[in-house]
Amino acid sequence: MTVSESRIHAVCQSKRSNRETAGDVAPCDLTVLILTYNEKLHIERCLASIVGLASRVVVVDSFSTDGTRELAASSGAEVVTHSWTNHTAQFNWALDNLGIDTAWTMRLDADELAMPDLAASLRRVLPKSDSSVAGYTLNLRRYFFGKWLRHGALYPIRLLRVWRTGRGRCENRLMDEHVVVEGAVEHIDADFADWTLHDITRWTAKHNDYATKEAYELLTLEAPTNRTFIEPVNQSWHARVKRRIKGTVYVRLPLGLRAIAYFIYRYFVRLGFLDGWPGFVFHFLQGLWYRFLVDVKVYELKQKLRTDRRSLAEIVHADYGIQVEPNGPPAGPIVGAPR
């Protein structure tokens, strides 16, 4: 998206200033993991936002060709490369192979950044954390066309992004994969931001790919044998509620109608219109167009299944180029055991 460069610069400068004025304040006993592929546009901003936050920052790159690795290394991050299969496999490979020995681990995407209050909050909470607490949720802010979208059920969204090393793992899903942990989950009232700098053409292309994955997962949820897939697990409250509603209510609504209802709920009932033009564009595209596209792909896949002897996974792989598990998502999410 086109954003105010001055506002981005201000956020990053604030992080640098915080470190300079902090003097000898030590970073958290924390490793930050960032997965990348051709993230030249975002990686320096992301790394600038976590200066002084963590004792180790590792960028796991899938052989970028745009200079992402060089920029990450010059910004002070440790850079490793590993071939991409899917997000879950890449993230869990990092957890298993990077020799993480800090007390805590954090996930951050390349197009995300830590807000200025996050480092101070983590320094205050993590050292005093009870041993029963395995993970913490943080507040997600979403920016679109440079505007912080505060309405439409978009803030605060609490996502589990910090966990005790060895007690968290990324669940095996094509879409909306979350870290799940062994132990209690609590909340830290501090923010990180999802703030992409890509234009709308890139955004819609990415969501077209997401729609195929989402259609696959909705079809697997329609099978009674997959109902346990939505049972609560130790992850963020928002993820649990969203998954339960999707698996028990949304999946049963008529195709097309559910996308319209979802848009009305977010834009009118949850006051998304208060975020002006950027809010309207986001809710129309992400809450209506994207959801409607998912339903069209669900319909298309059902048509293929009626006339094709291939399985759903085989069709999605051969016709859409998306590799999935042979039998669909597992009956329950993966829960990491202590190492």
* Boundaries of every domain in the chain: 5-194, 200-320
pLDDT at res. 325: 62
For residue 213, what pLDDT band results from cuts at 50, 70 and 90?
Answer: very high
Asked if pLDDT for residue 168 goes beyond 50, the answer is yes
User: Which among 127, 137, 114, 119 has a CA at the least distance from the CA of 189?
Assistant: 137
pLDDT at res. 336: 28
Q: What does the block give as tokens for 271?
A: 């006051």
Q: Give one DSSP letter per residue of 89-125, joined into a string.
A: HHHHHHHHHS---SSEEEE--TTEEE-THHHHHHHHH
Q: How many CB atoms lie within 10 A of CB 23?
A: 6
pLDDT at res. 242: 75
Q: Which of the given ranges, 170-184, 257-271, 308-322, has the highest pLDDT on average? A: 257-271
Q: What average pLDDT does range 202-212 have in this prediction?
A: 96
Q: What average pLDDT does range 116-137 have in this prediction?
A: 96
For residue 326, what pLDDT band results from cuts at 50, 70 and 90?
Answer: very low
The superfamily in CATH containing domain 5-194 is: Spore Coat Polysaccharide Biosynthesis Protein SpsA; Chain A (3.90.550.10)
Reported as a single tens digit per residue, the pLDDT across 296-313 is 999 999 999 999 999 999
- In angstroms, the CA 246 to CA 294 distance is 13
| Percentage, residues of the chain above pLDDT 70 | 83
Reported as a single tens digit per residue, the pLDDT across 225-264 is 544 444 445 666 666 777 778 778 888 899 999 999 999 9
| Percentage, residues of the chain above pLDDT 90 | 74
Q: What does the block give as tokens for 339?
A: 């190492």
Beta carbons within 8 Å of 79's beta carbon, 6+ residues apart: 58, 59, 61, 69, 72, 73
CA 73 to chain centre: 23
With b meaning 16 or more CB within 10 Å and e meaning fewer, what string describes 125-147?
Answer: bbeebeeebbbbbbbbbbbbbeb
Reported as a single tens digit per residue, the pLDDT across 35-50 is 999 999 999 999 999 9
- In angstroms, the CA 194 to CA 151 distance is 15
> Where do the H-state alpha helices sit in the chain?
5-22, 43-49, 68-74, 87-97, 117-125, 200-221, 237-248, 257-264, 276-282, 290-307, 312-320
pLDDT at res. 15: 47
pLDDT at res. 174: 85
| Share of the chain residues as helix, strand and coil, in percent rounded to the nearest 5 | 45, 20, 35
Q: What average pLDDT does range 11-39 have in this prediction?
A: 73
